[in-house]
Amino acid sequence: MKLSTLLQACGYASEDFTSALTADLADTEVRAVTADSRKAGPGTMFVGLKGLQHDGSAFIPAAVLKGAAVVVEAGAPMLGEHSEIDGQKRHCATHLRLPEPARFLARAAALLAGKQPRHVVAITGTNGKSSTADFLRQLWTLQGKAAASIGTLGLVTEADIPPLPALTTPDAVSLADALAALARAGVQHVALEASSHGLVQHRLDGVQVTEGGFSNLTRDHLDYHGTLDAYREAKLRLFEDLLPPGSRAVINADMDPQTLAALRRSAKKRQLDLREVGENGTTVRILSRRPLPQGQELHLELEGEKLPPIFLPLTGAFQADNALLAAALYWDTPSQAPAVLALLSQLVGVPGRCERIASLPNSATAYVDYAHTPDALEHVLQSLRPHVTGKLIVVFGAGGDRDRGKRPLMGQVAAHLADVVIVTDDNPRTEDAASIRAEILKACPQALEIGNRHDALQKAVNDLQAGDVLLVAGKGHEKGQIIGTTIHPFDDRALVRQFMQARSTPGPDTQQQAQTKQDGNEVRS
């Protein structure tokens, strides 16, 4: 594709550039785009982006030496040439400056990758994105539609598509390639998780988002965004910039008033078809929820009309919120809504989201959940309380190189809502694990501290009494413990299952198995 075609499609005209778009430069042929100089080569357009560690424009010479056809960086609009000498050889590339290179990268990547699926539903919010995306994918699949979800759990689809990098919202190029591959494979329904990092870094700016969901906004990622207002602004980009006018937007009406008001304002300004769900919902109102051993019964009103009770086979009020968000994103017209809501009884749980792992013969039960924010921990502890006749025990930690302010707040929540608190490690990354624990423990000084997560889980399971409920929070589906920059194999779900089994069938073999430590813990001891 010619550079001029990419520029035009991204809304630039030749008058935007200080030097006129000369025919030669504008004719430069671009076959692929990348933000990583290491992937640059003949026919590629390298876009230098400002990151936390590097300013990508510093790699322009490297990209030119590798044969890049076009190099792009931030600046007042300019089109010219850039050359580098390598020994005897002179390498030349078309040099472009634009005010928002990340946006250009995303749009160019989408154009080069090809057609996207007809429905790409983006979901944002602090908690509940992965769950909602998964539920929506399940609903489509139940109705016989080829579907996919993209997010923290990776690319989930029955189509044969290569996996994506381990981010909640993949980088713009990987995302464009994955969406085009899905469309080519006949998948026309995709639910996509929009993280605040992804939104603010324009990773989604090339996606033709057709519908959008917003679950809630509470504290997270302030290490990156600085303030809650900046974090909110990042998330609001979905409604403000990415959703086309007139498109369907679904929100949970029980969220904090400031974000709710901002979303309603955006929806009005952009003429979005706004649907609100939740206890204060106007589209779907939750009248009451009755926790049951295998899930919950929901009493709902659809646009003011009472519906027959619906059984949701999932534990936790927040799971009903996510399921309703997904359902209201699904239907086109209200007449389809009752049938879609009836499908909720067929949903299966998302791995590591309030997932019941096992029960002991004495009825004590263990759950694994991905709560890694104060609000998530509060919701999941409240959700489990009705299932407790003994004690509610929580084992959790907090991730290193992430928002430090979350730590005492999570400690406070645990101290307030659990009967027994065990503070352990959760992906310390490059931070000192003991210092992270100390920051949590300040707010819950009665807690037991067991840094080694394997030992913490084993102790928690071994102490379970009749009627107790154990919640292991923070890592959910994760399969590793990140210590330094190394990912050591570690799996809360597998370990808890193993320890619970050992307690159910005590014998020499199973007990010995339970003692076997996983790699991630051996290095921590």
Ligand X SMILES: Nc1ncnc2c1ncn2[C@@H]1O[C@H](COP(=O)(O)OP(=O)(O)OP(=O)(O)O)[C@@H](O)[C@H]1O
Ligand Y SMILES: CC(=O)N[C@H]1[C@@H](OP(=O)(O)OP(=O)(O)OC[C@H]2O[C@@H](n3ccc(=O)[nH]c3=O)[C@H](O)[C@@H]2O)O[C@H](CO)[C@@H](O)[C@@H]1O[C@H](C)C(=O)N[C@@H](C)C(=O)N[C@H](CCC(=O)O)C(=O)O
Sequence ranges of the binding site for ATP: 125-131
Q: In the beta sheet, which residues pair with residue 487?
A: 482
372 binds ligand API (CB under 6 A): yes
CB 29 within 8 A of CB 94: no
C-beta closer to ligand API: residue 141 or 427: 427
**Residue 203 — φ and ψ, nearest 5°?**
-65, -25
The option from ligand Y, ligand X, ligand API, none interacting with 318 (CB < 5 to 8 A, set by class) reads ligand X
149-208 positions binding ligand X, by CB under 6 A = 152, 168, 193
Calculate the alpha carbon distances from 201 to 89, 104, 122, 196 in Å: 36, 12, 15, 8
Stretch that binds ligand Y, among 49-57, 301-309, 338-346, 378-386 (CB under 6 A): 49-57
Measure the CA angle with vertex 450, ends 446 and 453; round to 5°.
135
Contacts with ligand Y, 198-227, as mask; x by CB under 6 A: x-------------------------x---
104 binds ligand Y (CB under 6 A): no
CA distance linking residue 40 with residue 63, whole number of Å:
6
Instruction: Using DSSP, state whether 307 is helix, strand or coil.
Output: coil
Instruction: Using DSSP, state whether 301 is helix, strand or coil.
Output: strand
Tell me how long the chain is.
525
CA distance linking residue 5 with residue 433, whole number of Å:
51
Stretch that binds ligand API, among 60-68, 257-265, 440-448, 473-481 (CB under 6 A): 473-481
Contacts with ligand API, 421-440, as mask; x by CB under 6 A: -----xx-------------
In the set 2, 31, 54, 290, which binds ligand Y (CB under 6 A)?
A: 54
C-beta closer to Mg ion: residue 123 or 450: 123
The site that binds Mg ion (CB under 5 A) totals a number of residues, namely 4
122-151 positions binding ligand X, by CB under 6 A = 125, 127-131
C-beta closer to Mg ion: residue 153 or 392: 153
The option from ligand API, ligand Y, ligand X, none interacting with 427 (CB < 5 to 8 A, set by class) reads ligand API
Residue 227 DSSP symbol: S
Instruction: Using DSSP, state whether 511 is helix, strand or coil.
Output: helix
The option from ligand Y, Mg ion, ligand X, none interacting with 59 (CB < 5 to 8 A, set by class) reads ligand Y
In the set 28, 34, 141, 322, which binds ligand X (CB under 6 A)?
A: 322
Which tokens belong to 420? 């027994």
Q: Report, in Å, the least distance between residue 182 CB and ligand Y.
A: 19
The option from Mg ion, ligand Y, ligand API, none interacting with 167 (CB < 5 to 8 A, set by class) reads ligand Y
Q: Report, in Å, the least distance between residue 454 CB and ligand Y.
A: 25
CA distance linking residue 413 with residue 423, whole number of Å:
12
Q: Report, in Å, the least distance between residue 43 CB and ligand X.
A: 35
In the set 66, 95, 129, 221, which binds Mg ion (CB under 5 A)?
A: 129
In the set 28, 37, 127, 141, which binds ligand Y (CB under 6 A)?
A: 37
C-beta closer to ligand X: residue 32 or 347: 347
What is the full DSSP assignment across 229-291? HHHHHHHHHIIIIISPTT-EEEEETTS-HHHHHHHHHHHHHTT-EEEEEETT-SSEEEEEEEE
Instruction: Using DSSP, state whether 208 is helix, strand or coil.
Output: coil
Instruction: Using DSSP, state whether 57 is helix, strand or coil.
Output: helix
In the set 49, 120, 156, 376, which binds ligand Y (CB under 6 A)?
A: 49
Which tokens belong to 332? 């086109």
In the set 439, 474, 481, 499, which binds ligand API (CB under 6 A)?
A: 474
Q: Report, in Å, the least distance between residue 134 CB and ligand API.
A: 15
In the set 12, 17, 59, 499, which binds ligand Y (CB under 6 A)?
A: 59
Which tokens belong to 385? 């309380």
Residue with token string 């019941």: 356
C-beta closer to ligand X: residue 315 or 452: 315
Stretch that binds ligand Y, among 70-78, 166-174, 257-265, 488-496 (CB under 6 A): 166-174
CB 66 within 8 A of CB 87: no
Q: Report, in Å, the least distance between residue 341 CB and ligand API.
A: 30
What is the full DSSP assignment across 388-435? -SS-EEEEE---TTS-TTHHHHHHHHHHHH-SEEEE--S--BTS-HHH
List residues forming the annotated binding site: 37, 125-131, 168-169, 195, 201, 203, 402, 426-429, 474, 478
C-beta closer to ligand X: residue 217 or 483: 217
Instruction: Using DSSP, state whether 144 is helix, strand or coil.
Output: coil
What is the full DSSP assignment across 335-391? GGHHHHHHGGGG--PPTTSSEEEEE-TT--EEEEE---SHHHHHHHHHHHGGG-SS-
In this structure, the strands spanning 119-124 and 154-157 are: unpaired
CA distance linking residue 281 with residue 96, whole number of Å:
48
**Residue 515 — φ and ψ, nearest 5°?**
-80, -20
Q: Report, in Å, the least distance between residue 245 CB and ligand API.
A: 31
Judged by the rule CB under 6 A, the positions of this chain that interact with ligand API are 168, 372, 399, 402, 426-427, 474-475, 478
Judged by the rule CB under 6 A, the positions of this chain that interact with ligand Y are 35-38, 49, 51-54, 56, 59, 152, 167-169, 171, 195, 197-198, 224
Judged by the rule CB under 6 A, the positions of this chain that interact with ligand X are 125, 127-131, 152, 168, 193, 215-216, 318, 321-322, 353, 369-371, 375-376, 379-380, 476
